[in-house]
Amino acid sequence: MWDIWQEIWGTIRKNKLRTFLTGFSVAWGIFILIILLAAGNGLKNGVKSQFSWRAKNSLMMWPGRTSIPYNGLPKNRSIKFRPGDPEYLKGQHEQIKYILPVIEHRGDTLSVGKEYTYSSMVGVTPDFPKSRNVEVKSGNGRFINEADILQARKVVVIHDRTAEVLFRHVPPLGKYIKVNNILFQVVGIYSDDNMNQSPYAYAPLSTIQIIYHPEWSYDSFDMLIDGVSSVKDNEILERNIRESLGRIKDFSPDDNNAVYIWNILTNYLQTQGIFNGISLFIWIIGIGTLIAGVVGVSNIMLITVKERTHELGIRKALGARPSSVLKLVVTESIVITLFFGYIGMIAGIGITELVASYLSVSGGHMGRSIFMNPTVELPIAVSATAVLIVAGVLAGYFPARKAVKIKPIEALRNE
C-alpha cells in the first residue's frame, strides 16, 4: 500500500502544474456548489423568518363589508364578529383546533412619568401565544390568564423593547403604566420574532372589550388548524369556513369582501414548494460545474495512462494483476479529486461563515429578514464529500479500464 502512495505522490510531483490546473477545476466546482447552496439557504431562512412570528398552521380572519346582494339584502352591509361565533365555527369544522378572538385598538400612548411610546392595545385570551409565537421567558412574569379575563383586570403584557423605552433600567414587573390615562399593571414582558412592526401591548380580551368595544364585537379571529397538510385541502377548508359564516351572517360564500382571510399555511406551503424547486436548480448548477472539473480529472488521468503505457506494460509482463493497475489509477484520481475538492469545500464554508457572522453582527432588521444565516448544514457537507468520492471514482474508472486493457507486447512495441 505504501508503494502505491509513493507512486501517486511521484506522479503528482512530476506533473505539478497540470495536476494543479486540473485540481483547481474540481475545487472551483465544489466551491461554487457550496456558495450556491449557502445562498439558497440564506434566502430560504430569510423568507422562513417572515413566518416565524406566527404559527404556520394558522388562519387570520377579519370582518369586512358585503359586495354582493344576498337573499334580498343589499350589498355594502357591515359584517360583525360576535361572541358565540368562535364556538359555532369550531363546532362546524373539526380541523379548527383553536379559534381566538382578538380586539385591537391602534395608536395608544403608553407612558411612565416623562417616558412614553406608541403602541396598539390588543385584547386577547390565554391561548393567544399559540397563534402568534409570543414568548414570556422565565423570570419575565406571565401572560394573560383566565382570572384576568373573568375579572376584566387592568393588566398588560408589554414587549421587551417597550419595557426598555418606558422603564430604562428599572424592573417593570408589578409597575404601572398609563394607557391613554388609564392605569394598567405590567404582569409580563414578552419577546417575539416580528422585528418589522411596532410591538403590541397585550391585555385581557374582556378588559379591552369593555373600554373600546362596548357593543361586544371582535376585530378578528386567529385560527389554528390541525390535520390539513396540502394547499388544496387548506383552500377547501377556507371555502367551507366562509360558507359557514355566510349562513349566520347572511352573505354569499362567493363574497370575498364580506370576510377577509389570510391563510398563513397556504402561503407557507407554496413558499416551501418554490424553495424546493430553487434547491433542485442549485444542485443541478453546482453539480454541473463539478462535473466539468471531474471531466478535467478524467482527461488528466487518460494522459497519465498514455504517458505510462510502457511502464504499465512492463508491470503486466512481470505479473502485475489487472486489479492492482486499476487500483493505482483510480486511487490517484480519488486523491486528486478529494484533496482539491476539500480545498474548495473549506474555502466555500469559510466564506459563508464569514458572511453569516457579518450579517449577525452588522444589524439591520430588514437585511437579516431577507437574507439570514447563509451557511451549509453538516448533512450537505457530508453529501458533498460523497459526491467528491463518487466523482473521483468515475474520473479514474475509464482511464483505469484503458490501463487494464494494455497488452504488454503492444506497450513495449509502441515504446
The region of weakest confidence among 8-22, 230-244, 277-291, 355-369 is 355-369
Mean pLDDT of the chain: 81
**Residue 45, C-beta contacts closer than 8 angstroms, at least 6 positions apart:** 372, 373, 374
pLDDT for 207 equals: 95
Give DSSP secondary structure letters for 19-76.
Answer: HHHHHHHHHHHHHHHHHHHHHHHHHHHHHHHTTTTS-TTEEEEEE-B--S-BTTB-SS
Check residue 172 and report its DSSP letter.
-
Q: How far apart are CA 86 and CA 99, in angstroms?
A: 6
Give DSSP secondary structure letters for 74-107.
Answer: -SSPBP-B-TTHHHHHHHH-TTEEEEEEEEEEEE
Q: How far apart are CA 81 and CA 68, in angstroms?
A: 19
Map out the domains of the chain as residue ranges: 2-51+269-414, 58-264
The region of weakest confidence among 33-37, 304-308, 353-357 is 304-308
Q: How far apart are CA 261 and CA 99, in angstroms?
A: 13
Q: With residue 223 as reference, give the H or E element that holds it.
A: strand 220-225
pTM for this predicted structure: 0.66
Cell readout for 310 is 510502457
Name the more confident of 308 and 65: 65
3-state DSSP assignment of residue 216: coil
Q: Give the tens place of pLDDT for each residue, 286-340.
A: 777 767 767 776 777 677 666 666 666 666 676 667 667 667 777 777 777 788 8
> Confidence band (pLDDT; 50, 70, 90) for 153?
very high
pLDDT for 205 equals: 95
Q: Give the tens place of pLDDT for each residue, 365-408.
A: 444 455 666 777 777 767 776 776 777 677 677 766 766 666 66
